[in-house]
């Protein structure tokens, strides 16, 4: 594996890798939580899920602070359309 000695990750790539890992952990813990039947097991998984959610947010905020990720505000018309869609679905479920 000599080719790997020449590969280095910069800070942005490392943070993106960490972000992807945390996002995947959140997904896995969510799936596991719905499959568990023991209250103790579900409590433990939920604690780990909460930690992964917090870690994901911390990495994301670090990326935005460093300018590696940009947050764009959606136009008000788009937000309004999405609110209307959600309200329609919500009313159908009630």
Q: What is the pTM of this model?
A: 0.70
Structural domain boundaries of the chain? 9-93
- Rounded to whole angstroms, what are the CA distances from 46 to 3, 10, 19, 39, 42? 40, 33, 19, 10, 6
Q: Which residues of 35-48 are buried (b: 16+ CB within 10 A; e: fewer)?
A: eeeeeeebeebeeb
pLDDT tens for each residue of 27-64:
999 999 998 889 999 999 999 999 999 999 999 999 99
Residue 22 CA to residue 87 CA, distance in Å, equals 31
Burial 1-10 (b: 16+ CB within 10 A, else e): eeeeeeeeee
């Amino acid at each position: 594996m000599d080719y790997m000695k020449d590969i280095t990750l910069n800070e942005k790539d490392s943070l993106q890798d960490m972000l992807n890992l945390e996002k995947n952990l959140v997904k896995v813990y969510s799936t596991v939580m719905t499959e568990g039947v023991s209250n103790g097991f579900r409590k433990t998984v939920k604690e780990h899920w909460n930690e992964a959610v917090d870690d994901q947010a911390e990495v994301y905020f670090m990326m935005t602070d460093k300018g590696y990720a940009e947050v764009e505000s959606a136009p008000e018309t788009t937000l309004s359309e999405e609110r209307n869609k959600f309200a329609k679905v919500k009313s159908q479920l009630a």
